[in-house]
Amino acid sequence: MKIKDIYSFLNELSPFELQEKWDNSGLLVGNLEDEFKKVYVSIDLDEELIDTFEENSLVITHHPLIFSGLKRVNYDTYSTKCLKKLIKKDIALISMHTNIDKTHLNKYVVENILGFKIINQNEFISNVELNMSFDELVNHVSSKLGLKTLKAVKCHEKIKTVAIVTGAGMSLLDEVKADCFLTGDIKYHDAMEAKSRGVSLIDIRHYESEKHFNTLLSGLLEEYLKKNDLKAIISASKNPFDFFTE
């Protein structure tokens, strides 16, 4: 199969033109006329993961390996080290980031992983209605996302409305109209701002909230690839963070 064939399918599934201006989704390594033998799916890449890939393959990631323009390729940074391995093994790379966030991923995590029903959805924010105590919500989220440790800002004992953005969504705080906001990568000053506005926060972390890209995309690709005697191989990159408890 040629890359242009699966690229066209992915573009119909979640148009690349929907990506944010600062994003870099699309075909990042390889040529549309190139052919590939296997398909791998992963939230990210790391060097150890690329070592497991067969030559002449295609990998589809959520996060782009390259965000801004590269002025030099000296193989001394995360992205260039990975690029070297990809090119040497003739492995193409397609990334689906903010486009699939908008069309599929956020909804998938909210409904299929957290088990909530969306009542309203804008580009990135899923809104749900609940009747839980804050502590019950924390326990539910921890269980569903497999979070052994969790940080939160508690402004309300009772939670009736929740806004959810997978990945890093604190830049969208101005658009949040809910008792509690669930997103990842929450910083200290983000917490101070939310608390002053009376918005509770639960940090669902970046990797843990978006790693479900793997199962989501594999499922969406299953029938298409089956027609071409292929199937997506889920290849989970490692979370760069370790978490310690006392």
Could you report the per-residue pLDDT of 126-139, keeping only the tens digit for each?
999 999 999 999 99
What pLDDT shows up at residue 123?
A: 92
Range in 37-41, 114-118, 175-179, 242-246 the model is least confident about: 242-246
Q: pTM to 2 decimals?
A: 0.95
Mean per-residue pLDDT for 198-206?
Answer: 97
Class of domain 100-207: alpha beta
| Amino acid 246: pLDDT | 62
Q: State the fold for domain 3-96.
A: 3.40.1390
**Residue 240 has what pLDDT?**
87
- Report d(CA 209, CA 184) in Å as an integer: 7
Q: Using CB atoms within 10 A of its CB, is residue 1 exposed (0-12), middle (13-18) or buried (19+)?
A: middle
Q: What is the pLDDT at residue 119?
A: 97
At residue 244, does pLDDT exceed 90? no
- Mean pLDDT throughout 156-171? 97
pLDDT in tens, 81-121: 999 999 999 999 999 999 999 999 999 999 999 999 999 99
More confident residue, 228 or 184: 184
- The answer to whether residue 22 scores a pLDDT higher than 90 is yes
Token pair of 167 as six digits: 């990945």
| Domains in the chain: boundaries | 3-96, 100-207
Cβ proximity of 127 and 163 under 8 Å: yes
Contact 57, 36 (CB under 8 A): yes
pLDDT at 154: 97
Phi, psi dihedrals of residue 182, rounded to the nearest 5°: -105, 120
100-207 matches 3-96 in CATH topology: yes
Q: How far apart are CA 97 and CA 93, in angstroms?
A: 13
The percentage of residues in the chain with a pLDDT greater than 90, rounded to a whole number, is 91
